[in-house]
Structure 1
Amino acid sequence: MKNYLMKKQYGLGLLAILVLLVSPMSLLVSHIDLLGDVSFEEGLFYTLLTDSAGSQGFLITLLVLSLLVWRKRPSTQNLLANGVQLGVILLIGFAAKTGLKIMTESPRPYTELLSHQLLIPQPEHFYKLNSTQKAEVIDGISTQVSQWRTRHWQGEKDYSFPSGHTIFVAICIAFFGGLFVQSREYGLAAALMLWGLGVAYSRLWLGMHRPIDLVGSIVFVSAVYLLVPQFHTLSEKILLKLPILTHK
């Protein structure tokens, strides 16, 4: 058990730091005005950040991080084991996200604004509407809210908890960040952490999540990362059956 935890220490340590850095963001939420003016530069910046961890760009992010790890030329066994581990964690994370949203039924912050503007009776009412009606309600506030925000509202009309973007960020920080720290590439680990914090804040800025959504997502990933093994034994067995793949 001790050896198992030792192998996980870097990833878990980075997730602990991430929670400590994300938690104070609750103090910043009150300063975010969803009705405020947004410059082109500001809107583009937060959109690129959030898209890098969303359906539009998460594969590119995974590719870039994978290439950074691959440039170190890891052994075939480590490459296979790490790939299986990452795949399992991502699968569990994304599948559980959908289930948790249905279970918690937590309205997104922007639905509170829609309620305050009398477009819906209360935030929960938004989720009783069909897709067309939801889109029409969001359109009803488009003259007051920047398109940089409403375009994301139109794209994500599901529940708030947990944050799928933050789940992806936490997985990347635990997995790739742990590998960077293990190989003493502290600069890359720090850059990855800054990116993760930027994505987390972008979710607040867009009105998509609350701080508790972010913290809960990180805690959830911490549990998944702790429980999912590293599959070195499995990768060794696979390589023995596939002699065409050789070890370094």
Structure 2
Amino acid sequence: MQSKKFGLLMILVFMAVICLITSLYQSADLSASVSNEYGLFITLLTDSAGHKGFLITLVILGLLFLKLPFTRAQFFSKGLQLGVILLIGFTSKAALKELTESPRPYTEWLAQQALIESAEGFYDLNSVERDGVIIVASESVSSWRTQHWKGEKDYSFPSGHTIFVAICIVFFGGLFAQYRQWLPLSILMLWASGVAYSRLWIGMHRPEDLFASIAFVAAVYLLVPPFNHLGDKLAQQWPNSWPFKLLPDRAK
């Protein structure tokens, strides 16, 4: 528990930021016009935590991770911990969506415009029919929103994007705080907050989706062991060669 205090502190800070965002946020007018600059900015934010860009985000954070003063054993143990948390987060997201069957907010807007009978009814349509409804909606909704609607026609709860950014906050953010890396921590927090806001703006999620996703990640982080013993074993067995020459055992 002591080793996880920084990660838990950062996830609490992130939760507080999301509370502020949602308290100030007014439900987006999904039919409002959107400038190309703002639409592109929101798209880049949301894609950086989605299937199109999350690997790039992980690589960037991983490079910053390598600059922290770990021993080789710590490198392995923390890498294993991150891998398990990501695996649980991604697999649980899909299962929870099918279990809860919560319609996305944009489907409620489609129902209000009488394009479908009900938000739940959207999911009774096949993929081609769903696309057709969204294409009709595109006559009054910016493509900066509808392009995401077409790409994400599944259920709303929980938010997979928010699960990913919460994992980044609890793991990388906790390490940045522990080692007093304030600049990358600040950038990470701003990015994560922007991604969370983008999910509301696009019409993909409600505030409760975001809060539940963050709480879920915090619970997983608490339950996943630190893998210290396994990290020690791997460090002893791995040859002292590249890329681990970049990771000398600085802490004795």
Q: Which runs of 4+ in 1 moved over 4 A?
A: 243-247
Alignment partner of 1:112 is 2:108: yes
C-alpha distance in 2 between matches for 1:190 and 1:159? 31
What is residue 186 of structure 1 aligned with on the other side? 182
Alignment partner of 1:213 is 2:209: yes
C-alpha distance in 1 between matches for 2:151 and 2:53? 14
C-alpha distance in 2 between matches for 1:28 and 1:115? 26
**1:1-248 to 2 correspondences below 5 Å:** 5-72=1-68, 74-244=70-240, 248=249
Conservation of the 8 A alpha-carbon contact between 1:115 and 1:123: yes
Change (3 A) 1:29 1:139: farther
- CA-atom RMSD, angstroms? 1.4
Number of residue pairs aligned between Structure 1 and Structure 2: 244
Q: Identity of paired residues, percent?
A: 55
The residue matched to 2:26 in structure 1 has which SS? helix
Conservation of the 8 A alpha-carbon contact between 1:163 and 1:213: yes
Change (3 A) 1:48 1:142: same
Deviations 1:33-91 (A, max 9, x none): 11000000110010000001000100000000110121235322111111111110000
The residue matched to 1:140 in structure 2 has which SS? helix
Mark the runs of 5 or more structure 1 residues left unpaired by the alignment: none
Conservation of the 8 A alpha-carbon contact between 2:76 and 2:234: no
The residue matched to 1:74 in structure 2 has which SS? coil
Conservation of the 8 A alpha-carbon contact between 1:51 and 1:58: yes
TM-score by length of 2: 0.93
TM-score by length of 1: 0.94
The one-letter amino acid of 2:221's match is: Y
Change (3 A) 1:35 1:28: farther
C-alpha distance in 1 between matches for 2:225 and 2:170? 13
Conservation of the 8 A alpha-carbon contact between 2:6 and 2:177: yes
